[in-house]
Each structure stands twice: as structure tokens, then as C-alpha cells.
Structure 1
């Protein structure tokens, strides 16, 4: 027995070391999505920005760890540790919403974040174990099989259990592989990065040398991705300029629902900014956007005179308004919505239901688990927190755009911009496709954290995929205007109350990504990965 223990101890220690390396690589992958550290003198390490080379190195480390595993379960375990560290590092800020604002005990909030990360990491562990079993020895087939396995795991996380694709690897590559977004989207970009990293480890001779050269070019030389993007065709055409004003109320989450503080402040501040915009000649035929739940009460719980004055102000002015507001009642259910008003029309009667006469309404389609609907069997967990949560009704898909000033403006609410395949459904009919995208958000639930930066990168990638400018009006950040190439045109400082003025160019036409994803969803990408696996398995037989 003594000899067996002595022989087994080094093996245990080696595996513990492998797990530690996997966890470190996973944390590096999390940091690569949006650098959480301070501003540095290095051009590739900028606070809040993606770090493509760090993402690439983390994947190279993962492939090396999996390739050196002695069994499929061992490979699966290493990938599970990597993914748990990565995902926990990406959305650690959920702890703030549950503990700081939700009142959940700190140990329970920590366990909840780790449990979610571990649950989502199961996909990566399972796919890594299957890859190890089917990979063959090495070479290009093994590298392609790894990319397919990685992509299938990403797709599973983004689709199963309503989907939670926050922090997908492709977001770290927006400045290096963004030129591929109009063709293959964020998951395809992740697949390209995974294939390149795997080729560096697994390919032989000249193929490995080529992979190293490509990695050094795309990940090591800033500006290479932008240079490539400028030399690819632009699949969209201008559809007219739109002046916009984005409102950022910066009302802290612990004040937002306070009837003596946050609610009166929101009513005064947003009302005053809308009135100013209505008479500003720079916003004639323009658009004002207020964030998600800018007014955090149901309309029927406020003085009708407030809504009447707001609607009358917009009708008499020169700029249209989109505002996030909860709608509904107990009998019909509640929705997280965006209401819209346009200038013009006859004056409203004094007793008019101004919100009922709104020109436009969008209801959020993709709801947040635990935040906007409670999964079966988890009521007990929600009851542990002091948060205004409940079961909302879902809006349809797609919903018509808000038409104004020659533009077709498609709003969506917060978390929905993670799902490019769902936003693309509005592009099925090219003649009715949106020309401008608008996101209204409130991520004050997560404090002044890297979640704000991560969400900005998500918005940039949606703009690239869909070939449309993206406007974001938020409570605390990132309030930003982005062009159709994913470039930030203007941004308001996070956490500060104020307005952001910009002019965006609406676009028409469809990217290749929009064409296939609007018709078939993500199935073409999944089937491609399965065909790669079938090809590799056949080579081994």
C-alpha cells in the first residue's frame, strides 16, 4: 500500500498542477473579453477593451493541456475547470446584484455565481472529452475537430436553457477578427480563433509555422484586423443621417425605486431633458432615447398629467422619443417595454390617456432568467432576495420597427443584444429591415464594474454582424453611439448624469451573416461543426 501511495502521489500532484494551469488560462480568457485592469502604456492592454492575443494564448494553453491528457475524463475535467474559471471570471458581477442590491447573504451569492459557471462549463467539459476520444493523434484534422468542439459548446451555452452567451470568446477578437463578423458572426469568429490556436499546438511542420505567423500577425500587431476590414466589401449602403440624443440618468440602483428619492428624480430629470430636446433645432427630425425603465413605475401608478405633458411636448417638438417603461397590469401580465412618440398630429385632449396614444410599443422578447422570469422550481431562490422581480410576458419575434425621419428604428432591451440570431429575424424582408438599432439598458444592478465594458463590446459586435449603427441609452453606462463597422463614434462617461449627442448614418442592405442566420438561425454553423467531426471520425476508422 505504501508503494502504491508513493506511486500515485506524483500523478495526483501533476493533475492538480494541470487544473491550476487550466484555471489560470480560464481567468486569462475572462480578462480578454474586456481588460479589467487599469490603463497601461501598452496599446493592447487598454482598460475595458478586448485583448485578442490574451484570448489566443488562453486557448493555446487549453489545447496543450487537453492534448497532454491521458484519458477522455481527464481532458473533460481540465476543460471543465478552465470553463468554470473563465465564466465565473466573466460574470462575477452577478454577485453584486444578488448580494449588494438583492440582499442575499454573501456566501450564498458566491455559491450561486460559481454554481452557474460550473453548470454552463459542463458543455465544455463534455465536448472536450469527446474531442480527446475522437481527435486522432495530431495535425490539421485534430485542430479542426477542436474548433468544432469548442464552437458546439459555445452554441450550446448560447441556446440551451434560454441561452446565456455572455462573454463568448469571439467578443475578445472584435479588433483582430472583426472583419469576419459580417460573414460568420461572433460564434464563427470564436471558431476561427479556436482553429488557429489548436493549429499552433497540434499541426505539424509548415502548417504550424503558418499558424504561428498568422497568430503573430492577427494577435500581435495592433491594427491588422482593422486594415483587413477596410479592404473587404461593405455590404450595406447609406440610408440617411439621423441626429440623436441619448439620455443617461445615472440613478443608483439602490435609489431607483425609492418613492422619496429616485422616482421623483427620474420624473424631473428625464422630463426636463425631453422638453429641452423638443425645442433644440439641432434635433429637428432627430431621435431622443431614454434607457430601460427610465421611469421605473407602471404608467397607471403615476399622475396621468405627467404622461399627457410628455406626449404633448414630443408632438409639439421636432424630435421623436423612445423610452423604456414597464407596461401592463395584473390581469393581462407585465412587459418590459419601449414606448415611442413622434412629433406632429393634433393636440391631445386634456383627459387623453397619453401612454395609450403612444405611436409605438416594443415588448422585450428574450427575458432574463431569475430577473424577468422565474424558472420552474426556483421560486425559493428568488424569495431569498429583496429584488423587484417577477414573471414578465414575452413580446413576439420579430416586431415592427419604429418608423421616423425616413429610418426604420429597431429597439431591443438590455440583454437581448446578446442574441444576434434573434435580432436578425427583423431582417428577413430586406424592404422592411431596420436601418438603425437601439438598445436601452439598465445594468446599474452590477455596479461600476467591467460588465459595462463587456456590454459595449457586445454592442459593437452586433453592429458589425448586422451592418447597422447601434445606439445605447443606459442608466449608468455604457451610453454610446456605434457605427455599422463597430466603431465607437461617441460615448458618455460612465456613472455620470448627462446627455450624449451624435449623428449616425442609417444603413440598408444585408450582410452575408444576416442572410443565412435570418433564414436558418444558427443551424448552419452547428451542422458544419458536426460535419467536421464526422470527417475526422471517418479518417480514424
Structure 2
């Protein structure tokens, strides 16, 4: 009986770190929109640091990191269940599998970082190594396999003074600083001075960075239209033209702006056959140029596009979405998979969309713009990829796919970050979500809330001078993380006891 009790106690001790890892990861996810519960952030990251310090082996540390990531992504990305409810008879059964596999897959990056930190360093140096490797894992998550930087640490800080660092060091730099500030809290019990020093230094860095000085509004006015089409009705034959008529009515109102912006796939037909529809839109807009989302076909390939209509209702410029959503807008080996009835959720175009050539500027009546279609605003590297600096960022999106809970608000935070990183205003037109005029400092100047049909006439802000991040991108932070990881590795080897 005594030996049985001892075995049970040992088992509970082994399970305790697993529960701590899962629970701490879930707690950390509450720092994301729409909750922004930053009070749990130091607790969660201190727990992560403690788990690495206490890990008896690299394998145990890797498991702790994976469980921490599993808890974080499963709660933070729970909106991923929403697209499967659009057509529940066909897709609802897939929802839990999608969330579990996505969370488990993304958590592998964190598990690798935790495991390598334990393997390549020892003692308190594990925390320094973890700062570097966890940051590098986030680089991997943002760039590898088309990338998925959603729910990155920099997104915690959008409505705090720390966001003023984005024009200088970008989202990866802000994520690195987050880890520098809070992972050392794991040392508080053994070394209070070491545990407190990092948060104090991080706060000093934040306070030393001045907020950007805005230049004020221009003389241009933009009408941002939100028709508010539920996704289960958006393409339905009985409803789809209702939302076009709604958007047209909003566009016809006086006084006339300088530009009207409709959301992603606002016109439910191919551009190739939409000549009459585009003429009606232009006439309703009173000749004001309209930028709208529409699908088009070219050489047997289908594109998710943004098209600028001139005063005559003719396409004056076209941008094709380049960064597509895997399994949403395309399926790997799409033509083969289509034979089995497997298509991208968001694609109405056979086996899926084709990718456009990449970031391209579009000349609008209000200035030079970089169009971003929906998911593309998640990637700061895509914005930095433009050949020249635009005057404006324009995001057209259909956030109905993300549901009504956390997804649309997390998407909005990332759009605000892109504006702040570049020092550029952003025009954001959502089918439903939050349509807004975003200032170059990331603030919402005018907005339409989630679930409301309507329009806003917003004065276009002037751009700020080019930011440091717009010139350097993520390279300085990446190289710094590599330098830290290499330095700790060689330092640990030099101090390792020799047999």
C-alpha cells in the first residue's frame, strides 16, 4: 500500500508541470484581443521560464514548451472553429480536428525552442537561451510554410505605450522585448534582483521612445462601405445581390468623397462578366472612383482581386492577392484534391485561387496605395516587400469568416500594427468586421463596429516619414537573436564541467 501511494504521488508530481504548462499557455492567450488581460502575462511567462529551469532533460523541456503552446494556441485561435459553422452539415465535424491540429502544429515551434534551450545551456543561462530561441521559433512560425504569425506576442501591446516601439523594431522586436522583460521573473525566488531588473529595463526602453508626431488630416475624404453580409448568405442566390444593392445605396449618398472603398469579393460575379454591374456601381457613385473586391479569371486561373473603377466604370488598375490562405483559398495539390471534392473554404473558384505576383502599388485618386486583401495584412514582411513606399495602405477584407468573437478583433489589431510599423494611414473596408480609418500611429480615427451595415466618410491622414522598421525589416532582430543564442551556447560550453 505504501509503495502504491508513493507511485501515485510521483505520478501527480510528473503531471503537475504538464498542467502548469497547459494552464499558463491558456492564461497567456488572454493578453490577445479582445480581452487584453495583460495582468496574466507576467505570471504565464514566469511559469514558462520556471518550467525550463526545472526540466530534468531536453525532452522534458520540449514537452513543457509544446504543452504551453498547445494551451496558448488552442484558446487564442479558437475562432478557427467559426468557418466550419458556415455550412455545418458538411463541415462542422472537422472543426475540433482543425483546432487541435493547428494548435498542436504551431506548438511544435515552441516545443523545439524549449527543448533546445535546455539541451544547449544550463542553469540560469537557460532563460537567456530561451529568449533567443523562442524568438527564433516565432520567426519560423511567421515565415516558414507560407507563415502564420497570428497571435504573436507583439499583438498584446497595441493599446499601450509599448506599441510605440513598432516603428523602430517591428513586431518581432517587440516580441523579443516581451520575453526579455518577463521570462526572468522565474528567478524571483532565488535571485530577486535578477528577476526584477529585466522588467525595469524593458519599461525604461518603452518610456524612452517618443510617440510619433502626426501631421494631421489631408484634404482628401474616403468613403468606407460595410454591407454586413453574413457568410452563409453572402454567396446565396437569394441574398447575394441584396448586399450589392446595400453597398450601392451607401455609395450614392451625398456629399461625394474622393474615393469609395468596398470590401473583399463585394461583387458576387467574375470581373470578366461584370461590365453591366460595374457601370451601375459607377453611376450610383456619381462618377467617384470605386475600389472594390471581385474575383476574376485569366487563362484558366482564378484570382481574388482588388479593382479600381474609373469615372467611366472601367477597370483602371487591378491587384491580385498574392499571399493566399492554405486550405482556405487554395489546397496543396489543388487540382488533384478537387477530384475528391476538397476545395478551399473561401474560394468560389473550382480548385482554388492562383496567387498574384506579389506586393504592387496602385495609383488612387488620393495617392499611391499598397492594396492588402484580408489575410495579407497579417504579414509585415509582405508590406515591406513593396518596391517603393506608398502613401496609404488599403485593406479590403471579409471578416465574416472569423466569426463574431475574437477573430475579427485580432485581425483588426494586426492591421493597426501594419499602419504603425510603416507610419502610414490605412483604409480598412470589411464586408463585416470593423471597417475603419486607421491613423499612422495605429489609432482608430473612424470606425464601423462588427455586425453593422453602413458607411463612414473619413478624412485621410497624412503619412509620416519612413520608419526605421520600414527600412530594415526583421533582419536586425533576427541577427540579434542568432548572436544571443550563439553567445550563450559557447559560454555554456566553456563553463561546462569536464570529465
Q: TM-score, normalised by structure 1?
A: 0.83
Give the Å deviation of 1:385: 7.7
Task: Specify whether residues 179 and 232 from structure 1 end up closer, same or farther in structure 2 by C-alpha distance, changes over 3 A only.
Answer: same
CA contact (8 A) 2:85 2:91 kept: yes
Cα distance between partner residues in 2 of 1:382 and 1:130 = 41
Which of the numbers 241, 254, 266 marks the counterpart of 1:264?
A: 241
Other-structure match for 1:149: 133
Give the Å deviation of 1:367: 0.2
Other-structure match for 1:341: 309
Query: Are 2:12 and 1:13 equivalent residues in the alignment?
Result: yes
Which stretch shows the higher mean deviation, 531-540 or 382-391? Answer: 382-391
Other-structure match for 1:25: 24
Other-structure match for 2:497: none
Which of the numbers 185, 189, 210 marks the counterpart of 1:200?
A: 185
Question: Aligned residues, how many?
Answer: 486
Q: TM-score, normalised by structure 2?
A: 0.90
CA contact (8 A) 1:147 1:195 kept: yes
Other-structure match for 1:45: none
Other-structure match for 2:330: 373
Other-structure match for 2:291: 322
Cα distance between partner residues in 2 of 1:382 and 1:78 = 39
CA contact (8 A) 1:291 1:442 kept: yes
Q: Mind listing any 5+ residue stretches in structure 2 that lack a counterpart?
A: 494-499
Task: Specify whether residues 387 and 516 from structure 1 end up closer, same or farther in structure 2 by C-alpha distance, changes over 3 A only.
Answer: closer
Q: Residues 111-140 of structure 1, C-alpha deviation per residue, up to 9 Å, x if partnerless? A: 1210111011111101110001223311xx
Query: Are 2:161 and 1:209 equivalent residues in the alignment?
Result: no
Other-structure match for 1:392: 353
Give the Å deviation of 1:105: 5.1
Other-structure match for 1:290: 262
Q: Residues 291-343 of structure 1, C-alpha deviation per residue, up to 9 Å, x if partnerless? A: 111112213455x32222323555x53x43211111115x3311111111244
Task: Specify whether residues 397 and 386 from structure 1 end up closer, same or farther in structure 2 by C-alpha distance, changes over 3 A only.
Answer: closer
Other-structure match for 1:280: 255
Which of the numbers 402, 409, 416 marks the counterpart of 2:369?
A: 409
Other-structure match for 2:227: 249
Mapping of residues 84-483 of structure 1, within 5 Å: 84-101=70-87, 103-104=89-90, 106-138=92-124, 141-174=125-158, 175-202=160-187, 204-213=191-200, 231-232=210-211, 240-261=218-239, 263-276=240-253, 279-281=254-256, 283=257, 286-302=258-274, 304-314=275-285, 317=287, 319-329=288-298, 331-343=299-311, 348=312, 354=313, 357-376=314-333, 379=337, 383=341, 387=345, 389=347, 390-405=351-366, 407-426=367-386, 428-429=387-388, 433-483=389-439
Which stretch shows the higher mean deviation, 55-64 or 109-118? Answer: 55-64
Give the Å deviation of 1:233: 5.8
Cα distance between partner residues in 1 of 2:339 and 2:36 = 34
Give the root-mean-square deviation of aligned CA atoms: 2.7
Cα distance between partner residues in 2 of 1:334 and 1:452 = 26
Q: Residues 62-117 of structure 1, C-alpha deviation per residue, up to 9 Å, x if partnerless? A: 11122111111111111101101111212212212124436445443201210111
Give the Å deviation of 1:465: 0.8
Give the Å deviation of 1:177: 1.8
Cα distance between partner residues in 1 of 2:458 and 2:290 = 15
Q: Secondary structure at the match of 1:328?
A: strand
Q: Mind listing any 5+ residue stretches in structure 1 that lack a counterpart?
A: 35-47, 219-223, 349-353
CA contact (8 A) 1:50 1:171 kept: no
Q: Residues 461-514 of structure 1, C-alpha deviation per residue, up to 9 Å, x if partnerless? A: 111111111221101111122111111112212101111222131315311101
